[in-house]
Structure 1
């Protein structure tokens, strides 16, 4: 209780809580309490808006030196203008009845929580956050950090709690100048006592020696936490944590997360170097290279510049150690004492630690600076999985920047084509990789790469011509939201021929008819009810692309547009039959190409619940439908024979030939997961889930086996399965995952 009272007195919370107004601002409630002060939700009666006000520790009214310093730093913070820095609206001071004065800073009130809240969410789920997504947010913070460094300012308290989130995906760095104000005050009172948060504080900050790379060190701590699920240094007490920063090297991140690329680890550990001049000087370059190691297996990291390379950034702020006592400070840096490791009002518990710890002197602990962690140079990479054995994949392929949405095998079973949400199409020599899975470091696993123009999250749909001489890729570009581009290539992915399809704003499925005409399914959304839309089928002559027909199919519900493909061509040789997925039904029909090209529906297949995905069997004699309800977590797989489909009249629902119940899918929070994709060989059916599970059922004599399915092992990957594809001979299964590396796994079954 005594320590709590001391903390309240030091932060001024007891005095501020007795006020109704701070300047012109009316206090509504307290939002938070920390070692650097309290944060209050207030109302600005002049501008009629809510603001957040941070009150700093109280000082005597006669302490004009502090007031001048506060005003100088508040003005400096208010002068910062950057899209990822929380702006300062106003600042002020207010005398209190007890003879003290409370200073405050007025900022916008941001509703979206903090980056710390985002981390805590994944900690509660006991899972690592999506690293690429989190790094994209931190990249915004890195831009703000570089901005202030180029203005010769240092933040001194970079941590997740000082990163606010607006609208979920816009990061704002807060508390500029706060740490500097308190750091200066405490140095005057106690010597070289530093301000910061122990878990994120660079070693040199314990001596009041902050540099720009102190901020970058804190940023590296956050990234270590995101990528491993733990902090690199965390002692039983705050002082013990600071001693670990000083004395211990961080454990290699891949020790806790083997899925991290070796290059990621090497770059991150440079950010955690003990010596300030060994760390990256530019935060944006640091984060950008970390991101690139996750998205490009062929990426060869470049040397990151340090402050030795950028002397303009090697500065000392005015309130740090002067030249007269730098020699004494250098000697003191080699001795670690308890006094040197005490800090002022840095973290949320720092003031309580200072108040309760006392200032008795420990014995000096003399030590040599720890040697930088040496990692063996990476000479090669392998496509082999970390684990081998029954039901394990034989290859683990990486190369896409975002999730793989389309997979297409060559007819000779030797190669695989993949299309991702990153607008890249990659060609993989599966037969060659199985024989020679190792590549020199920096060389990709894929054999060829096509890079399109990324737009939103629209997937690519590759399809191969019946004669195997051409490949068409739909959605290679969206042109002014008025037309969509399709590009055809030779079988060797050379000789691109792009052409536009006017009025088609996106394709949700593609197929190459046996008559050598291309078809693409587009949807025109009903502007009055955006849950409904009109399905349109485009028919294009790839030899003369200007020959195009737009056919109206029917209206339908748009609840399910993220499935792998809403349009499938009958694999039977010479057939022009198409299967189109509409909400809870599949419609079978044909495209009749002539001067009056038209769509002729032949059969309707309805299911009792929401349709998730569909697939033809390779012989074209059956079509599979996977359907269910994520609310009840009940899922079924139905098989409909081609014969039954065409023996029923168009007005009647085609009965299922066989049906089996599927395993439930685990999900997060209160909701369950879903089945995402389906693929069939002549003897087996595979289905993938949002939880990362892949199940295999036997297919015998046109019926599904009711026996318990085989569950494949995924080499430790626990992320949503986005797409599945069997090789034509049914011996290989490929799966695309939405994990951090957008992995593709290959099984030989």
Structure 2
């Protein structure tokens, strides 16, 4: 890294941003107030120290960390809108990050201006928000490494954590000859981090230091030099908190000591466990009755605080989610989110954070489908199957980029050092599955619709299952989720082996592991059913898996004309053409789609652009879909309308504005979805908050509005600070084009509408109600994230937050 001597950025341009005035300066760079010259809004720019233009290691690391941080969507994490680099000298570049402008100061400034200790309720309020953000980032496998009050911005009493990934970036191997500054702040640094081994518990230690500071007014370890401070963190005993503030209850002092244990494994398991224990300690104080379990239970034991009421001050209580509207206080520079990393708020809690959205029924077991506890179910573990047959053709020629791939068995994992750290690569866990039969015309169903009967539970995933996609032949089902795995399930084989009753399948026929989690609509089958396309988060490549060949190497697609890591696009939603070997991907933070030809790996063959009329809404396209004849592609822009391109010309031929469904100016929206009819290229169904609308795009008229009167789907959570509203999740057409199946945000049921019903039940406002719903007592224990109808219409596959896929029989024929 070059000298950190400040440059005069006043009035200069960084990309499209004009720097107006310096807000702050620190070891990690400068923060400037700036104006976005295109959107005419005020933003904050984090200008990082200059580097050599040829420092490819740093530029790759910067791009990777920026994308990782941008994928974190939480109400208490300051979002990253954009990032880039600018040439500042013939051999130097400066990198920068664009964020919302928060002008109310930091928690550090609030502490200094208080002229004494903050009220305990206010301190706990800030600590709770920070804990939720840190635990959320840890659930996404992201560490902060520099938790401190200066990195916590305040707007009113709303807290935002900043600088995720920056500490790691500036402490990478390139800069180890420099000072400690980029590796964290010594006064808040955990002992193991001071020795170069940061783990999740290191962030929890830093939060405990902050709690100690808020309750005592002092930092526990502060030496004459940074080195002396780090040595104290590693070796010095903790000064008892009551030495500085005698009013602290002994229980609180003990909890602080546990949070600041020298050994990471002795600290609380999550930030929220730590803060909840502190809340209990302050409430109960020294008046708590002796607890016979006190010597057996840690303060964060569920037994210890399971029934503790909340403190009587306002505190946000969030689960893992993404927002489609500004969250928290209205940020003048916060865009509407179009990130594919949007995570659900409404169906189950974070592993570490109590959710405002309760379990569906008291008899449900957390993270376990209700039916798995049934005594009538039988468990069948299916091991990897030997291929019955393989395609006669030789494996396709594969182009492998800079990722090294290690082949092996189920326990094999590939790791490579790139972009400043090690991460997992696509790792192939099993043998080729039997090749599918050629795709043939099948009789479309369902011919006699019935309430779903659960036949199979597929339990191979270890986290939320976000994608279920049937092979066009109907034999196989592909799934993917936030555990970074894609799995192949041989549904036909399992059903043939079924001896009656219900089966649980714990191992897929084949599986692959990727570097990052895979969210909804990021997996798709080719028209011939031989290839799976996959886009995982953050990376800049599209992966094609030749599923039924002996080769375990993915074909990687990357635009080599944009090889610069800063400008390289990140690909999000993926969909295959139903008529040829072309697939389309959306590009993050961009109003364009890229069309790729299979086996042309170095560049897309066509780009489809959308000139968004509302310039105040940031760019972004989601949930791209093809019409069944391949003539049209539809997508959802950030303003939540519909854009339709004609594939042949590449031109936008129609824009559809959806009806206004709420009077709220800002809502919490998990996801949207749209699907073309399987037999009409001009009929398109899309979600519109709490309903499904069906359009005739040729005549430009609304055909149907579909909704529900099910109170489980429509009831608001008791604690709803972000304005969550009832909303439809995923939708799927039946193959015969008659029915639409869907899910709702606070329900574990499947809803089915008959689009040909001449006399349907309707709500007071004329919305057609569901013809059928099922799954409450014999299905998932959490809300359904994705669903798909099998090609013959006999089955529906559902995927859920409970880590499980269920195969339902819905056709009596």
Q: TM-score, normalised by structure 1?
A: 0.47
Higher share of residues assigned helix: 1
Q: TM-score, normalised by structure 2?
A: 0.44
The structure richer in strand per residue is: 1
Larger Rg: 1
